[in-house]
Structure 1
Amino acid sequence: MRLTTVIAAAAALVVAGSLTAAGPAAAGTDAAATSHLRQSAGRPAHACSPSASLDRFSDALDKTTYQGTYVGNLSALAVDRDGSLLALDDRSSLFSLGARTLRPQRVVRLADEQGAELDSEGLAVDRDGTRLITSETEPSVRRYTPDGKLLDRLPVPDALRVAPAGRATANQTFEGLTLLLGGHALLASMENALSGDSPDLVRFQTWTRTAGGHWRLGAQYAYRVDAGLGVPEVQATPDGRLLVLERGFTEGVGNTVRLYLADPRHASDTRRVENLTGQPGVRLIRKTLLADIADCPSLGATAKQPQPNPLLDNIEGMAVTGRDGNRLKVLLVSDDNQNDAQTTRFYHLRVRV
């Protein structure tokens, strides 16, 4: 997945809040580093910010294979109906992983109507177990059975299609996908702006479920990204808001990854706004920074290329996996692009929203 190049800035956050308990020991945990962090200025050892903490990380799947399929290139995560974890790669493979062990248990191959591979990026599991999957080639949202049988395809506004059919840039379309309102609505996030829109304004497209169980186009919203960043993933919170990942990359510096809480409930419907330029009268999705992942403790992580924090990599997938009191359990995963300089890494966070 091509990343937008940015000038990364390291900004220290003031950290407060309680320390969450770390889970089972994971690859890369450094006890000495953790002890040092505990003692530094009273900062909780696992805090990334007042709103987020890092329990642990795992590199256990990095550069591994399962039944002859490379386990990497991971672009999306979702919790299946049986509690297992689904991990989607951008080469048309959908893995089932053990929720606690992350060990692969099954792999299903996906294809389009002609049997060709997808550039599969976004994933959501419907209430009947149907897999909703985006491909950013066209872009598209398709529905599959758990066995990978293609069911149908959702409508997409013409403007969101890749040029010359529309105004989107190749490889900068539907990256994130999430179900809202108890499954009555679906939302996909564009990674970057359309031609003619302000470069810092990306569109979020929704669909609503009809009485017959089909999906029809719904409202569209505008979201302002930080300078030079794009949106690789979105996930709904139980109260109807969104967790939004913003990400960028600078050669020789590394990744920038920030987690925001966003509220689309009072934003303007922009589907009839041809050019988004930040004009008066258009209410954007409001957002609040939860954490800059560069401010998380490294916990002994190592990086294969320069990074502001060795914990960082090309983080692209996210899922809300549960709740712990007033905090959400959030799992992130990085896309290694099948590249020796990158790592497939899972990050276990707890986030107060």
Structure 2
Amino acid sequence: MRTRIPLALVTVAAALAGCVTAQTAAAQPPAPRDGRTGHACSPMVAVHGYSDSLDKTRYHGLPVAGVSALAPDGDGHLAALSDRSVLFTLDVARHGPSPHARTVGGVRLADGAGAPLDSEGLVVERRGTRLVTSETEPSIGRYTADGTFTGERLPVPRALRVRPEGRAEPNQTFEGLTASHGGRKLTASMEGPLEGDGTDARRRALVRFQNWRLGPPSAPARGASPTSQWAYPVDAGLGVAEIAATGDGRYLVLERGYDVDAGANTIRLYLADPRRASDVAAVEALRTGPGGVRPARKTLLADLGDCPDLGAPNPSPQPNPLLDNIEALAVTGRSHGRLRLLLASDDNERAEEVTRLYRLSARLPRG
């Protein structure tokens, strides 16, 4: 999602927008805050390093910017989706705290009519094709690794389409995308609520997560059909920026917001458990309480503003200079009972924002 509120900030030093990696910060780590890593954001999440190696870079003339989604591509690289309708291939360091990266591929994307996308969500399928959301309609299309549109689109329930065709607000649709159940189940998250949907008892807006059952590997889109839908309560002032399946029926949810007066990003990582949530696919207006729907249960894993800053610079006066406009989240593996995570921020091609990669780990509470 492109920033919709102008940043009321004064740029500090243009030099700080250059390329910085976490190796300097790692040389002088902050005082340990837990016995495991010394980089704890919370009892369940730790940040191990960051890298600005992609910031303000270009690949064959394409700005490496607007990063909205990340996904392992199966051959040791990482696919990175730009909301400027570009799909990049990244080579990211696998060892050490810093996720230092270089761009090794980049292709433009377009819809069936040749028009660019407002591309936000990404899944790399086992056969190498890419499922990409466009926030405009919204839509989910299938692309080959070289960026060719295959002509396959998943059906989208009418209510989730942008007004007046549906009840979604512009720029508040499919922001996140993830696959589970061996790639046979797909889940997309709406960034904001539909017109007419309400809040829970804590006045948190209820946003919808839509599921699809994909067809056989030989023709997954042709057999795709929308299935269940569930409600998720998003914190006041925030939106759902990304989701990632954890492999046990639960989902990581990245919530994000920007306070223009404080000049600060808020980034929170939640664990959502929809296994006892109501199926709201046929529910016209979401409400909780007696006679209402049961939303997914969510548990705060970490407010990333509480992470140590690792000595990171930032060209804007963030209270925690490590943070920026984080939009992308991917699970890259497991180690010692913890999920390995990679996050990325979208600099919106602004001097006062940074394209930054973050390496984190998360220990999930028992389900």
1:249 aligns with: 258
Instruction: Tell me whether 1:94 sits opposite 2:90 in the alignment.
Output: no
Report the 3-state secondary structure (helix = DSSP H, G, I; strand = E; otherwise coil) of the residue aligned with 2:305.
Answer: helix
Deviations 1:113-164, CA, capped at 9 Å, x for gaps: 1101000000001111110000000000000111111121111011111111
Unmatched runs of 5 consecutive residues or more in structure 2: 6-20, 94-99, 200-204
Aligned equivalents of 2:125, 2:331: Cα separation in 1: 15
Partners of 1:3 and 1:198 lie apart in 2 by 25
1:26 equivalent in structure 2: 22
Could you tell me how far 1:266 is from its partner in structure 2? 1.6
Alpha-carbon distance between aligned partners in 1 of 2:333 and 2:35, rounded to the nearest angstrom: 28
Equivalent residue pairs, number: 331
Q: What is the CA–CA distance in structure 1 between the aligned matches of 2:23 and 2:52, rounded to whole Å? A: 6
- Assess if the C-alpha contact under 8 Å between 1:130 and 1:143 holds in 2: yes
1:28 to 1:269, Cα distance in 2 relative to 1, 3 A: farther
1:180-210 residue CA offsets vs partner (Å, 9 max, x unmatched): 1111100000000011012611000010023
Partner of 1:207: 212
Q: Which residue is 1:50 aligned to?
A: 43
Deviation at 1:45, TM superposition (A): 2.5
Contact residue 2 and residue 348 of structure 2 kept, 8 A: no
3-state SS, counterpart of residue 98 of structure 1: strand
* Partner-residue secondary structure (3-state), 1:49: coil
Which of 335, 338, 361 lines up with 1:327 in the alignment? 338
How far residue 53 of structure 1 moved from its aligned partner, in angstroms, is: 0.3
Does residue 347 of structure 2 align to residue 351 of structure 1? no
For residue 43 of structure 1, report the CA deviation from its aligned partner: 9.7
Matched AA of 2:107? V
List structure 1 segments (4+ residues) > 6 angstroms apart after TM superposition. Answer: 40-43
What letter matches 1:156 in structure 2? V
What is aligned with 1:262?
272
8 Å CA contact 1:122–1:177 kept in 2: the answer is: yes
How has the CA–CA distance of structure 1 residues 278 and 2 changed in structure 2, closer, same or farther, with 3 Å as cutoff?
Answer: farther
* 1:8 alignment counterpart: none
Query: Cα distance, 1:278 vs. partner?
Result: 2.0
CA distance in 1, matches of 2:305, 2:214: 38
Normalised to the residue count of structure 1, the TM-score between the two structures is 0.90
Further displaced range: 331-340 or 271-280: 271-280
Distance 1:183 1:43, change over 3 A: closer
* Letter paired with 2:330: A
Distance in 1 between the 2:23 and 2:168 partners?
Answer: 40
Q: Is the 8 A contact 1:179 1:186 kept in 2?
A: yes
Matched, 1:305 2:316: yes
Matched, 1:189 2:189: yes
Deviations 1:194-243 (A, max 9, x none): 11012611000010023553211110000001111110100001212100
Q: Give the C-alpha shift of residue 26 in structure 1.
A: 2.4
Cα shift at 1:31:
4.0
Aligned to 1:71: 64
Q: Which residue of 1 aligns with 2:327?
A: 316
C-alpha change, 1:4 and 1:147, in structure 2 (3 Å) is: closer
State which drifts further: 183-192 or 195-204. Answer: 195-204
Distance 1:30-1:323 versus aligned 2 partners, 3 A rule: closer
SS at structure 1 position matched to 2:48: strand
After superposition, what is the alpha-carbon deviation per residue over 1:98-119, rounded to whole angstroms, capped at 9, x for unaligned? 1314211111111001101000
Whole-angstrom CA distance in 1 between matches of 2:285 and 2:193: 10
Instruction: Give the residue type in structure 2 aligned to 1:144.
Output: Y
SS of the residue corresponding to residue 162 of structure 2 reads: coil
Asked if the contact 1:27/1:59 (under 8 Å) is kept, the reply is no
Name the counterpart of 1:131.
130
Q: Which blocks of at least 5 consecutive residues in structure 1 are unaligned?
A: 6-24
Counterparts of 2:336 and 2:181 in 1: how far apart (Å)?
21
Instruction: Report the AA paired with residue 208 of structure 2.
Output: R
Moved more, 279-288 or 238-247: 279-288
Query: In angstroms, what is the RMSD of aligned CA positions?
Result: 1.8
Q: Secondary structure at the match of 1:47?
A: coil
